[in-house]
Chain A
Amino acid sequence: MTVKHSRPTSPHLQVYKLPLTGIISISHRITGVLLSAGLLLVVMLFYAVSQGADAYAAMQSMVNFWVVKLMYWGFIYALFFHLCHGVRHVFWDLGEGFEPEKLDKYAKIELATAFALTLATWIFI
């Protein structure tokens, strides 16, 4: 059956000029995939801690390289953004916030909140 192997995929992103809410929507997906990949690094952290002081020290000297630190803060922002948009999904599930003007407004609130939470993490933790 040829039908089985040529089912349609989701509409391709490059076809549209995305509004802000659309960019936010695909970013939710992209950050989700990236954060999933980041879980590998978290498992490595647990491994380093479980292997004793030497392995821990080796891991720390690696993560204190500035490129890794920059990636770390990227992950933190991605986490907060994914979290904020996830909260909005829950609101959508309750049937709230589908009006066009609200979509754009909430998108901006999400981006700002994720930034504020990242900043708060940097200052307080």
Chain B
Amino acid sequence: MAASWRLQRLPSASPGIAFAARAAAIVLALTFAGIVLALTGANPLELGYEVIDASFGSSFGLEDLGVLVIPLILTGLSVAVAQQIGAWNIGAEGQFYAGAFCAAAVGLFLPWPPAVILPLMFVAGIFGGAAWILIPTLARAYGNVNELITTLLLNFVAILLVFYVSTNAWRDRQANSATRRLSAEIPEFWGSIHWGLPIAIIVALAIAALLAFSRWGYEVRLVGSNPSAAKYAGMPVRRHLITVMLLSGAIAGLAGTLEIAGTVHRLQGGISNNYGYLGIMVAVLARSSAVGVIFSAALMAFILNSGIILQTQGLTTSAVLAITGLILFLTAIGDELAHYRLARDKA
């Protein structure tokens, strides 16, 4: 009998193949975007060159990238951390806004010197993010209510809240839809990149270390992978679920704090460039690894920045979102296909 080939599905995909699948997804998506651009009359290669030149060719470009990376690392980390315990935090966007809201409250209304205000803003922002995920967390922990929807619904509420506050109650008299400048700010350390970047990277590395090298991290990983096994081993499943989800919210709140204290310096309607949603993409690309998030955030920042650069060519940030969606779609498919291999008949 002639040897024939068969498709087999393996129980796990090797990390190498999964990585290759992701790379392929990104390349395919960008190629597709290029084709669509070409069809609308633009020259994709030229545009690509322009994007790379603008991003890496000048210090301004690199600064823009650096500033974009900061919130993306943290929102990506927020989603990744929640995934470690098996939860979907789609509410990073809302927790971002909630963190910014609380930090702004401190920065606008407390009459103390900046050296005191700044740390307090951090505390407030972290608290705000955690508070914003509290109800979905409790609902999941005690009622097994799907957190995906509850966290997401609160996004809309947070955005409306910040919108209201920055156009009414806290509005700066001279501005239309923003508050006045906050009384404290995070100092810059390279061009317009502020110390938020090292902070974000350190937080990501700290979480990675915690997950890999602490008893708590071991238990969290087990609870996230199989709660039944965790119960069998006597681990406090519910307590870990609550702690980790609150941590996830806190990290997203920190992202919001860094954004208003370091980059925007005031509270206004659209402070988030969809960072919360892009954070999901960042986490998925990094396979929920806390270290990997740093790199996929850089990639995502590049994609986002390209969208901004190409606005002069008529491209909108919504087009970037669409391409991001396509990358996510192809990544999901690639993740599944990575389990398959062609095997020869054992003749």
Q: Are both chains from one complex?
A: no
